[in-house]
Amino acid sequence: MASWPAHLRRVNAHNVSTFRRAPLAEISGSLGDLGTLLPLMIALAVQGSVHLGSTLVFSGAFNIITGFVYGIPLPVQPMKAIASAAISGGENAPIEAVVAAGQWVGAAVLVMSVTGLLRWAVSVVPIPVVKGIQLGAGLSLIIGAGTSLLQPLHCFHPVLDNGIWALFAFLALVTTQRLPRFPYAFTFFVLAIVLAMIAVLTSHHSLPSFHVWNPQFILPRWIGQHGDAPALWMAVGQLPLTTLNSIIAVTALAADLLPGVPTPSVTSVGTSVALMNLTATWFGAMPVCHGAGGLAAQYRFGARSGASIIFLGIVKLVLGLVFGETLIDLLRSYPKSILGIMVLAAGLELAKVGHSLNKGAPDLWENAASETFSGGITRIHRDPSDEERQERWTVMLMTTAGILAFRNDAIGFAAGMLCHWAHRASEWLIKKQRNRLVREERAPLLSP
């Protein structure tokens, strides 16, 4: 029990010192994941599949708790598969079904965390497959930014959200990429809010007004009106994504990006995902998880500690309590041009982790006896052979190809694992054949 208070003191000392050293970078980084949050949250709230006020209040509270407990910019973002299914389903995905889907996933992840299945999964899933999931998620973000946000834009119309604004945001992103302290996300978030407010005023819609959050209890609907189970099928589509990208991949990415901060265990992250969805969804909040894409986005724009998402959580909590549902028109007018460039940058940051596959990956570090007088154990980096490098790249790219081709993390995972096992089987057959040849060569020498 004494270790937990010590851990929290150490983590929050890191939060405070990091925020004092670079407050603008932490604030800017906290806004890095808006490209994932805003489009899905707005779409679900507009069609009545979630309550915007409850989503802001609970996700803000979870941001604050996550920042205090883990001390890293671990995001709280929508469950994409559930959100996509609900948006495409329209009237067939009411709020009761979305709530039930989030609770199905939460219950499944809780069982996997408690029973140790998540720890077992980490031990058997090879690093090239994990890297492939991260690379696939990053490239998926880039493709999504291009197809759904940037490609539909016109060059000059409308005045407040067009290709010129996207080009301006992109040029600013490229120009400031070697200026880590430049608060890119914060600067363009303020600009986007100003443009959104102008758009709301000129379209004769109403600006956000004072509206105290009034929580409403939502009873989940496990069975559909026609005897089907839409919530269960939405959960089935979400569970592989949550397990692979929001738990396994995000812990691996945290270790890569923030080696100086204790990396949360998969059991801890899984329990966090489960508890978030088994509590907040009863009040109509959007099903949420932790994701590698959000962590990469927040890191890309300057976040280095839990202080960033604590700040974000406070802002979301206040907005949800004070304005609630009246924010929909303003958020709906948020410029897609700026949002698309932020998603693009997040995807690039996540995809970049693939470069460490054959140099610096966790499975390439080995323990060895220290040669110093003090003795002990030291860690050395193993350089893989050219053949092993090619094999690892093949497994990673096979995983990524499955994700991109079928837009499904589970299929990409299965493709990567099959590729990995095929290499292992080939090695086993070659080794067995060599041993047989050695025995055959020795047989005449041993005969009388």
Does the pLDDT of residue 375 top 80, yes or no? no
Question: In whole angstroms, how far apart are CA 341 and each of 33, 56, 102, 172?
Answer: 12, 23, 29, 10
Burial string for 421-443 (b: 16+ CB within 10 Å, else e) reads eebeeeeeeeeeeeeeeeeeeee
420/424 Cα distance (integer angstroms): 6
Encode pLDDT of 233-260 as tens digits: 888 878 888 898 889 999 989 988 998 8
Structure token pair of residue 136: 């696939």
Encode pLDDT of 296-345 as tens digits: 999 999 999 999 999 999 999 999 999 988 998 898 899 999 999 988 88
Report whether the peptide linkage leading into residue 94 is cis, meaning its omega lies within 30 degrees of zero.
no
412 within 8 A of 400, measured Cβ to Cβ: yes
Of the pLDDT bands very low, low, confident and very high (cuts 50, 70, 90), residue 373 is very low
Does the pLDDT of residue 1 top 50, yes or no? no
21/18 Cα distance (integer angstroms): 5
Which 3-state string (H, E, C) describes 332-389? HCCCHHHHHHHHHHHHHHHHHHHHHCCCCCHHHEEEEECCCCCCCEEEEECCCCHHHH
Torsion of CA 224, 226, 228, 231, to 10 degrees: -20
Question: In whole angstroms, how far apart are CA 77 and each of 39, 56, 172, 402?
Answer: 11, 11, 26, 23
Which of the given ranges, 136-145, 349-358, 385-394, has the highest pLDDT on average? Answer: 385-394
183 within 8 A of 28, measured Cβ to Cβ: yes
Of the pLDDT bands very low, low, confident and very high (cuts 50, 70, 90), residue 33 is confident
pTM: 0.83
Encode pLDDT of 260-271 as tens digits: 888 999 999 999
262/14 Cα distance (integer angstroms): 11
Structure token pair of residue 440: 């055959």
pLDDT of residue 140: 87
Domain ranges of the chain: 4-354
